[in-house]
Amino acid sequence: MEYNFREIEANWREFWAKNKTFAAKDHSDLPKYYVLDMFPYPSGAGLHVGHPLGYIASDIFSRYKRAQGYNVLHPMGYDSFGLPAEQYAIQTGQHPRITTKTNIEGGVDNQGNKIAGYRNQLDIMGFSFDWDREVRTSSPEYYKWTQWIFKQLFNSYYDETQDKAVAVSDLIAEFEANGNANVKATTDYEGSFSASEWKAYSEKEKEACLQEYRLAFLADSWVNWCPALGTVLANDEIVNGKSERGNHPVEQKLMRQWSMRIKAYAERLLTGLETLDWTDSIKDIQRNWIGKSIGASVQFAVDDSDKKIEVFTTRPDTIYGVSFMVLAPEHPYVDEITTSEFKSEVENYKATASLKSERDRQADVKNISGQFTGAYAIHPFSGEKVQIWIGDYVLASYGTGAVMAVPCGDQRDWDFAKHFEIEIINIFEGVDISEGAHTEKEGTIANSDFLSGLKVKKAMKLAIYEIETRGFGKGKTNYRLRDAVFSRQRYWGEPFPVYYKNDIPYLVDDANLPVTLPDVDKYLPTEEGEPPLARATQEAWGDDFAGDRMDFNTMPGWAGSSWYFLRYMDPHNENEFVSKEKVEYWKNVDLYIGGAEHATGHLLYSRFWTKFLHDLGHLPFDEPFQKMINQGMILGRSSFVYKKTLSIKTSDKNTKNRKAITLKDSPLILPKDTNTFYSFNKIPSKEALIEEIEKLNPGHISGSFNDYIDEICLTPFRVAIKYIENDVLDIEAASSDPIFDFLQGAEFIFEDDGTYICGHEVEKMSKSKYNVQTPDELVEKFGADTLRMYEMFLGPLEQSKPWDTQGINGVHNFLRKAWRLVHNRDGDFIVTEGEPTKEALKTLHKTIKKVGDDLDRFSFNTGVSNFMICVNELTEQKCTNKAIIEQFVVLLSSYAPHMCEELWVILGNEAGTVGTQPFPTFNPDHLIEANHKYPVSFNGKMRFMLELPRTLSKEEIEKEVLAHEIAQKWLDGKAPKKVIVVPGRIVNVVI
RNA sequence: GCCCGGGUGGCGGAAUUGGUAGACGCGCUGGAUUCAAAAUCCAGUGUCUUCGGACGUGCGGGUUCGAUUCCCGCCCCGGGUACCA
């Protein structure tokens, strides 16, 4: 029988599905192991070969863990709320629910495109997912519990005394008993009230106060508003001042929004990182994002005013270096403190600053701007008057939105002072600050009263002490992490379990969850600018409707993904989000595989929610993902054909049109555009092209032409990679595709062998670049086992690498060779019983050791190499021994499960059991040899190999080596200075 | 600018604790088989070479008997972040 992968793979997939071979048991005496993949958003474009990379690795690892005797939880689901389905709905009117279902289950979209379906695409890869546990974040059964968790957050506040989340009902009880005097909570509330005052508050006032404590709260906050998307965005959804999705501009807007008080967890999110087995790079990204800085908050009184400006500084030791203050233009005090003399200038500056987009401000780092307000602050220690300025280098959203400027110790303050000719006080002993600030946190403080003569570190401590004892402020830790905006003005997301009565938000009762997403007539904002859900009629909300109105927002994408790993443990539980018993058994994720791009979004929010649910006693752990591996991106390899229509880039920025290029006032004459395509190795050189142009422009082109013209080349056109094999273009097939009909009737300059060779470039895989490779095509051509092994063979999992199918034959051949190990030329099955040879045992055990070690360190690519070496050796040995082959099949089964199941049955074993066989045990005895081949080096350079018995002593080895004729030659009669002998390894002779 | 990764043949990559640099695969070259092609098999394949050997892991130094691996300085590429007070 030939290796008929199509038939074999189809049969086994059916077998696994029918027998639920990979179902995880919730009750087991076996130790548990939880392997999780980041679940995908099911887009209409389907999977390309980059997506399954991580899934293949996690699948291999799951199978390995099962072989090691673990009860493995390895689920898959869909992060199925999201923008693309909604955009599609806006364009086509099709309900996102339907689009989403089609994208998952396959079918035809309403434009007639065939959709393969994520599930089908995943299935053909032979993954050992426990599909009975599938979750979809957009299903009401799932988001019921997302809403429930939101309610817990709403009903909790962060108690800083206990350092955990506590029920708001406890807080209310405390307010009723003692007011807020003894409450130490993470809050935006600044006032104080007594118990009787609290009791006198109206319901509305009470709720307004509580909102400032709740972990999920409504607040008017400056949000990132994206007009093009019609929604607010979280900080992590913005890249370079534009929306991550669609690259639209984002502006600051004050809006009433749901937020999450993630700041309360800043310190725990930071320290928790130390317990995690994640890459340093991801941990660093999170550390930077949290952005802890230690210093002091100091109050500066404003002269002739009762206002006090609070600043945060990390350098309280430099307080005597303060020569001015700067407020953010948006700072609330600006209008009040500005003197009449400077009113109009300040107004102008504020207007200019507000017009500048976030992006402009970033681009404008070099441009120093600011405006004096006319007001002065009183230095708390020296009592001197310092000018108060506003400047857009101070951000309203960080710290207190105001800084004490110390130009001698901060470069930005220094630049500002220089620019506006403000005094620069030097408070560093023996440091020259004429050319720039002294920003290092070292040196001795001078010219600073009680701080003079102290080293920076000591001065900092003393300064904070004095600031506190004299009542100017206190030591403080500041975090860059902002509270996370949790509302989105979109349709396709979780509705909030919230209704309003007299503008007071109330939660929907647990018994009435989920609040299901109502149908609407259009997926667009209302004419009044309300979110799409405002379109839903009371009937559309059905029984969910309560109060005056429902909340019109939906939750952001990260709501559902923050806890999905918990739901897999207990996906059908109707009474709890996960049962205590099950979460107690499965605990947190042991291995999480996914992209590094979620470092500041999903990975931070999941940690936040996990810690929160832990605080409430629902989870026995407070970190969701113990170990994480970030797979690299698979890049596309785009192919190009080259048409002889010259592309010219000039250093002259004004010349956009190549035909407008002029030389010595007369237009540059270019060779006529042709319809001729040059094969890659036949492309005329730049010199040849210039020569051609010279002929057309006699006397105009000189040596300076090369300086003037940056680049001159044929015009490249992309061609879909499906028409290309080993860079050879199938002209006939490509030109019959309407997208590439420009090839029809074109002339071609071929290679000498008559083929047309394409050029290529490595870039991101995308539809528009015609370089997308789907797994489906490759599975059809080579089989899933080949694709699985090839994706692993490509290189280390964590590294980005270009996709190139050229090597896939090599892996396919390996599997055929493995198949032939037990089949003769006629395809008949052949194995021999009896004792294996010593050689075969050595090969097998060497492979067991290496493959096992490779799996333990997630080195899947070297694992594939080791299988290849094993098969090469066994083939050479003509080994057909059953015992050896069986062990080999078990070893290989995690990588190539279909073929191994088949071979396992052919070998006479029970169907479907290869995956539960114990991982073969390594026996080092089989590797021990009587002799060792010593590499013998002279001065560190290997000269010859010498096989010697392992029993020899150092002295005997040295004697044998020196007596060897090649050694004699290298010694050339001289005595060696030294001989290093590492028994069982190497010999190095120093001469 | 700062913080993380990374730089090894024509290509993807290997070398796990400082011990034979280039495993394995692709590609390429030659040969066998074939009417021919595909497939398969065999041999070769870092560079230079006076065929003795010399050089060789981004560059320059250092430690060591021995460095892709450790240390110092620099260059380049990828990712993150950026008036963060």
Does domain A930-990 fall into CATH 3.40.50.1220?
Answer: no
User: According to the model, what pLDDT value does residue A363 have?
Assistant: 53
Range with the largest mean pLDDT of A329-338, A509-518, A627-636, A825-834: A509-518
- Closest-lying nucleotide for A811 based on CA to C1': B25
Nucleotides on chain B within 7 angstroms of protein Cβ: 3-5, 11-16, 19-21, 23-28, 39-41, 54-55, 65-67, 78-81, 83-85
What is the predicted pLDDT for the residue at A707? Answer: 54
Residue A753, pLDDT score: 72
Chain A residues 87 to 116 whose Cβ lies within 7 Å of strand B are none
User: What average pLDDT does range A493-518 have in this prediction?
Assistant: 95
- Closest-lying nucleotide for A809 based on CA to C1': B26
Q: Is the dihedral of CA A639, A641, A645, A650 positive or negative?
A: positive
Answer whether any strand B atom is within 7 A of the Cβ of A887.
no
State the alpha helices, DSSP H only, in A432-537. 456-469
Percent of chain A with pLDDT over 70: 95
Rounded CA–C1' distance between A468 and B42, in angstroms:
86
The answer to whether the beta carbon of residue A554 comes closer than 7 angstroms to any atom of strand B is no
Residue A986 CA, nucleotide B21 C1', distance (Å): 15
Which residue's CA is nearest to the C1' of nucleotide B13? A795
Estimate in Å the CA A317 to C1' B36 gap, whole number: 88
Give yes or no for CB of A785 within 7 Å of strand B: no
| CA of residue A943 to C1' of nucleotide B60, angstroms | 29
Question: Does at least one atom of strand B sit less than 7 Å from the CB of A868?
Answer: yes
Q: Which CATH superfamily is domain A775-926 in?
A: Isoleucyl-tRNA Synthetase; Domain 1 (1.10.730.10)
pTM score, two decimals? 0.90
Radius of gyration of chain A (CA): 35
A931 contact to strand B (CB, 7 A limit): no
Q: Is the CB of A653 under 7 A from strand B?
A: no
- Report whether A793 contacts A39 (CB < 8 A): no
Distance CA A179, CA A725 (A): 76
- CA at A937, C1' at B20: how many angstroms apart? 9
> How open is the CA angle A554-A557-A558, to the nearest 5 degrees?
115
**A861 in contact with nucleic chain B (CB within 7 A):** yes
Q: pLDDT digit string (tens) for A651-669?
A: 554 444 444 555 556 666 7
- The answer to whether domain A775-926 and domain A930-990 are alike in fold is no
By residue count, chain A amounts to 991
Q: Where does the pLDDT of residue A554 fall: very low under 50, low under 70, confident under 90, or very high at 90 and above?
A: very high
Residue A435, pLDDT above cutoff 70: yes
**pLDDT for res A656:** 44
pLDDT one-digit tens code per residue, A202-240: 999 999 999 999 999 998 877 778 877 777 777 777 776
Least confident of A155-159, A344-348, A514-518, A722-726: A722-726
**Does any strand B atom come closer than 7 Å to the Cβ of A364?**
yes
Closest nucleotide over all strands to A817 (CA to C1'): B40
A105-119, A128-142, A726-740: lowest mean pLDDT where?
A: A726-740
Nearest to A693 by CA among A716, A726, A715, A667: A667
pLDDT at A587: 95
Tokens of A551: 């909340």
In this prediction, residue A930 carries a pLDDT of: 84
Burial class (CB in 10 A: 0-12, 13-18, 19+), A106: middle
Sheet arrangement for strand A589-594: A71-73, A32-37, A589-594, A625-630
| CA→C1' distance for A701 and B3 (Å) | 49
Give yes or no for CB of A990 within 7 Å of strand B. yes
Q: Is pLDDT at A159 greater than 70 in this prediction?
A: yes
Q: Which pLDDT belongs to residue A134?
A: 97
Provide mean pLDDT across the span A458-476.
Answer: 92
Rounded distance between C-alpha atoms, residue A499 and residue A549, angstroms:
6
- The full DSSP string for A33-63 is EEEEEPPPP--TT---TTTHHHHHHHHHHHH
Please check whether strand B approaches the CB of A378 to within 7 Å.
Answer: no
Residue A706 confidence (pLDDT): 55
Collapsing DSSP to helix, strand or coil, A119 comes out as: helix
> CA-to-C1' distance for A866 and B69, Å?
22
**Quick one: how far is CA A881 from the chain centroid?**
47
Lowest-confidence region among A118-122, A394-398, A749-753, A849-853: A749-753
Q: Indicate if the pLDDT at residue A502 is higher than 50.
A: yes
pLDDT tens digits, A361-375: 555 556 788 999 999
Contact A889, A917 (CB under 8 A): no
The whole-angstrom separation of Cα A29 and Cα A70 is 9
Nucleic acid strand B within 7 Å of A252 CB: no
Q: Where are the domains of chain A?
A: 292-479, 634-763, 775-926, 930-990
A775-782 helix and A5-19 helix, angle to the nearest 10 degrees = 120
Nucleotide with the nearest C1' to A410 CA = B85
**A292-479 CATH:** 3.90.740.10
pLDDT tens, A678-720? 888 778 877 777 778 777 777 665 555 555 566 677 888 888 8
Nucleotide nearest to A936 (CA to C1'): B20
Mark residues 682-741 of chain A whose C-beta is closer than 7 A to nucleic acid strand B. Answer: 726
Whether any strand B atom is under 7 angstroms from the Cβ of A285: the reply reads yes
What ipTM did this prediction achieve?
0.94
Is the C-beta atom of A168 closer than 7 angstroms to strand B? Answer: no
Higher per-residue pLDDT: A695 or A171: A171
Question: Is the distance from CB of A437 to CB of A408 less than 8 angstroms?
Answer: yes
DSSP SS3 for A354:
helix
Half-sphere exposure of A642 (CA within 13 A, CB side): 20
pLDDT tens by residue, A13-37: 999 999 999 999 998 899 999 999 9
DSSP state letters, A291-345: -EEEEEEEEEEETTSS-EEEEEES-GGGGGG--EEEE-TT-TTHHHHS-GGGHHH
**DSSP H or E segment with residue A9:** helix A5-19
Q: Is strand B within 7 Å of residue A681 (CB)? A: no
Can you give the pLDDT at residue A360? 57
- For residue A308, say whether its CB is under 7 Å from any atom of strand B: no
pLDDT at residue number A431:
84
Distance A693 CA to B76 C1' (A): 35
pLDDT at A358 over 70: no
Q: Quote the pLDDT of residue A626.
A: 94
**CA dist., res. A625 & res. A58, Å (int):** 14
Average pLDDT rounded to a whole number, residues A248-275: 88
- Computed over every residue of chain A, the mean pLDDT equals 88
Is any atom of nucleic acid chain B found less than 7 Å from the CB of residue A976? no
Q: Please provide the distance, in angstroms rounded to a whole number, between the alpha carbons at the two ends of chain A.
A: 61
φ, ψ of residue A142 in degrees (nearest 5): -80, -50
pLDDT (0 to 100) of residue A654: 46
Residue A164 CA to residue A616 CA, distance in Å, equals 9
Q: Which of residues 581-620 of A have CB within 7 Å of strand B?
A: 596-597, 599-600
User: How many angstroms separate the CA of A938 from the C1' of B80?
Assistant: 47
DSSP 8-state secondary structure symbol assigned to residue A263: G
Q: Is the pLDDT of residue A616 over 90?
A: yes
